[in-house]
Chains A and B, each alone.
Chain A
Amino acid sequence: MSHLVLDGLTTRFGGFTAVDAMNLSVGRGEFVSLLGPSGCGKTTTLQMIAGFVEVDGGGIRLDGTDLVSVAPNKRGLGIVFQSYALFPHMTVAENIAFGLEMRDVPKADRDRRTLEAMELVGLKGFADRYPRRMSGGQQQRVALARALVIKPALLLLDEPLSNLDAKLREEMQGELRQIQRSIGTTTILVTHDQHEAMALSDRIVLMNQGRIEQIGAPHEVYDRPASAFVASFLGKTNVLAATGDGEGTVTVGGLVMPLPGAGKGPLLLAVRPERLTFAQAGEPGLEARITGRIFQGAHWQFSAESAAGALTLMRGNDGAAVPGEGETVRLRFSAADAAVLPAGAAA
C-alpha cells in the first residue's frame, strides 16, 4: 500500500504554475528523491507536503488520510533544511528535545529519547554545546536528530547536504542512507545534485518546470531516459539524429542497425558516452572525426564530430593505444544502449 500519495497536486504563485498536477505514490519505508534544476518545483512540492505553501489543487494523502486540511504543526513530519535551521539560542539537547516537549513527553522519557537520537547520529557527548560552536556537518546531524526523535511519519530533506564540502557530503550520504534504512522512515529528499539522488534513492522523480519528467530507479532513469531533458540532465549524453524505416531498423549517419521499437522517419537517439565503442575493422560504424582528447587517469574522454551530430565518448584506460586528434574513427553501440527520445524533443 502506498504510504504517501500526491494526487494532481498543483500550486500557483500569481500567474505562474509552480507545480502542475503532480502525481506520485511513495511506498512505506521508501527513499524517494525529487531531482531537477532550480525552479523546477521540487522544493515547492516539499513545502506543500510540510504545509508551508498553500495547495491550489489536488490532494496529499498520508496513510489514506487527507494531509492538506491538517495544520502544519499537527502533521508530525520531520524536516531537515539546507540551512540546518537549528534554534541558535538552545543547546544541542534542547534543540533535539524541542519536538518531544511540544508533545508533552515526560521529562525522563524525553531525556532518554534525546540521548538515543544523539547516539543515532553520532553526537554523543555534545548535549550542552550550542550550534554555533559546531561544524556544518555536526549541525546537520543535530538537525537530523531533531527531526527523527519525534518518530515522524515522513522525513522531508530539503537539500540537506548542499552546504557541506564534497568529502563530508559523501560521508554524510552514506550515513544518511544507513540511518534511514535502519529506522525505515519513509523519506523524501529534494536535491539538485544528481549524484546525491542516485547514491541515496530507491526511486528518483525527475522534475522540470513544475512537471514530472520521469519516475524510476536511479539506473532506470539513467539508462532509459524518457525525454531529452532527462537524458541531458542526468550525466552526460549524446543525442544523435537518426532515421527509422518503421520496420525496426535505424540509420545513424553511415551506421545501419536494428533497433526494435524505433518509429518511422527522423528520430533522436540518446546514447551515453561510455556506451559508444570503436568499431572493429570490417564492422559497420558511424564515422566520426576526433576533435579533442582529454586524459583523466582511469579513462580517456574524446569529443568528435559526426554526420549525426557532435559526440562525447569515454574509453577506459586499458593501456592500449588510442586515436589522436584529427583521426577518423568508426563508432558503434548496441541497440540496448540507445534510448529513443520522443520526436521533436530538443535537448
Chain B
Amino acid sequence: MRRNGPLALIFHGLFVIFMLAPLLIVCVVAFTPEGYLSLPTRGPSLRWFRAIFDYPEFIRAFRDSLWLAALSSTIAIMLAVPAALAIARYRFPGREAITALFMSPLMVPHVVLGIAFLRFFTQIGISGTFVGLVLSHIIVVIPFALRLVLAASYGIDRRIEHAAISLGAGTATVFRRVTLPLILPGVVSGWLLAAINSFDEVTMTVFIASPATVTLPVRMFLYIQDNIDPLIAAVSACLIAMTAILLFALDRLFGLDRLFVGSGKG
C-alpha cells in the first residue's frame, strides 16, 4: 500500500477536523455551568443536562420523533420491498415512471413539500395530526428505503429462487425462506437510513407540525428562536451520544460494512 505524502496527510487531517469539530464543540459546550453558550472555563457541570428534565416538551418531542421515525420507515420499507423486487425483475410498461415517482421526493425541495402537504392536509382534514406527519414522512424517506432494497434485489441470482421452487416451495415460502433473507442487508440498511432521515427531518416538518405533534428537531428549532442557552447543546450532546451507542451496537451485532456496503456474502 502506498503511504500518503505529507500534503495529503495535512489535507485529510484538516478534513476530519472540519467534520468532527462542530460535534465536539457542541458536546463540550453542553457541560458549561454558565447561562450562555461558552466553553467551560470553571470546570464541567451537568446543569444543562438536568435542565432538560424541566422541559417535558423535549422529552415528549423525542418520544414522538422516535415513534414517527419507526412507523414511517417501517411502512416505507414495506412499500419499498415489493416495488424494488418488481422493478429489479420485470420489464413492464411504466417501470421507469414508477422508479422516478418513488425517487422524486429527493428532487423536490422539502420547503415546497412542506407547503404542499400543509395545504393538502388542511383540505382533507388531517392537518396537524400525527397521521398526517407519518404520511408525509413515509413519502420523504421512501427513496432511501427503495434505493437500498433495489440494490440488494438486483444482486439476487434468480436461479436460487428457482432451486427453491423446484424443491417444492410455493411463492410465499420462497419469499420468506429465500428472497427476504437474501435482500435482508438492503432491507435493514434501507430501514435505518429511512429512520434516520425521518428523525432528522425539519424543513418540511416545521410546516406540518402542530403544537400537539412537534418532533424533536422542530422543538429544538422553535426553542432557539427564543432562547440561546446551553440547553440546546445538552440536547444535541444527548442525541450524539445515543447515535454513537446505536451505531456501535449495530456494528457489533451485524457489522456496519455489511449493512451499508450491502454485501450479502459477508
Q: Please choose the segment from B31-39, B155-163, B197-205 that sits at the chain A interface, where 4 or more of its residues have CB less than 8 A away.
A: B155-163
When the two chains form their complex, are residues A89 and B159 in contact, meaning their CB atoms are under 8 A apart? Answer: no
Given contact pairs A74-B168, A132-B265, A150-B168, A79 touches B182 in the complex (Cβ within 8 A): no
A136 within 8 A of B: no
A-side interface size class: 20 to 34
When the two chains form their complex, are residues B168 and A76 in contact, meaning their CB atoms are under 8 A apart? Answer: yes
A126 to B140, CA, bound (A): 47
Interfacial chain B residues near A143, Cβ < 8 Å: 163
Q: A159 → chain B, closest Cβ, in Å?
A: 11
When the two chains form their complex, are residues B168 and A103 in contact, meaning their CB atoms are under 8 A apart? Answer: yes
When the two chains form their complex, are residues A146 and B181 in contact, meaning their CB atoms are under 8 A apart? Answer: no
Q: A135 → chain B, closest Cβ, in Å?
A: 15
Interfacial chain A residues near B167, Cβ < 8 Å: 73, 98-99, 102, 146, 150
Within 8 A of B (CB), among A81-95: 81, 83, 85-89
Q: Mark B162-201, 1 if CB is under 8 A from A, else 0.
A: 1111111110010001100110000000000000000000
Q: Is the interface of B mostly helix, strand, loop or mixed?
A: helix
Q: B264 → chain A, closest Cβ, in Å?
A: 7
Given contact pairs A86-B160, A89-B181, A78 touches B166 in the complex (Cβ within 8 A): yes
Within 8 A of A (CB), among B128-171: 157, 159-160, 162-170
Within 8 A of B (CB), among A43-87: 50-52, 72-79, 81, 83, 85-87
**Chain A, residue nearest B266 (CB):** A132
When the two chains form their complex, are residues B162 and A85 in contact, meaning their CB atoms are under 8 A apart? Answer: yes
A89 to B173, CA, bound (A): 15
Question: Of residues B165, B168, B170, which shows the largest number of chain A Cβ atoms within 10 Å of its Cβ?
Answer: B168
CB contact between A102 and one of B159, B160, B168 (< 8 Å): that residue: B168
Given contact pairs A83-B157, A85-B157, A85-B159, A98 touches B166 in the complex (Cβ within 8 A): no
Q: A82 → chain B, closest Cβ, in Å?
A: 8
When the two chains form their complex, are residues A99 and B162 in contact, meaning their CB atoms are under 8 A apart? Answer: no
A76 to B160, CA, bound (A): 16
CB contact between A77 and one of B164, B166, B177 (< 8 Å): that residue: B166
Interfacial chain B residues near A89, Cβ < 8 Å: 181-182
A146 to B163, CA, bound (A): 9
Within 8 A of A (CB), among B72-128: none
Query: B interface vs A, CB < 8 Å?
Result: 157, 159-160, 162-170, 173, 177-178, 181-182, 264-265
Other than the known A79-B163, A85-B157, A87-B163, what 19 A-B pairs have Cβ atoms closer than 8 Å? A50-B162, A72-B165, A72-B166, A79-B166, A81-B159, A81-B162, A81-B163, A85-B159, A86-B160, A86-B163, A87-B164, A87-B178, A88-B265, A89-B181, A98-B167, A98-B177, A102-B173, A146-B163, A150-B167
27 CB < 8 A contacts A-B = A51-B165, A52-B162, A72-B162, A72-B165, A72-B166, A73-B165, A74-B168, A77-B166, A78-B166, A79-B162, A79-B163, A79-B166, A81-B162, A81-B163, A85-B157, A85-B159, A85-B160, A85-B162, A89-B181, A98-B177, A99-B167, A102-B168, A103-B168, A132-B265, A143-B163, A146-B167, A147-B166
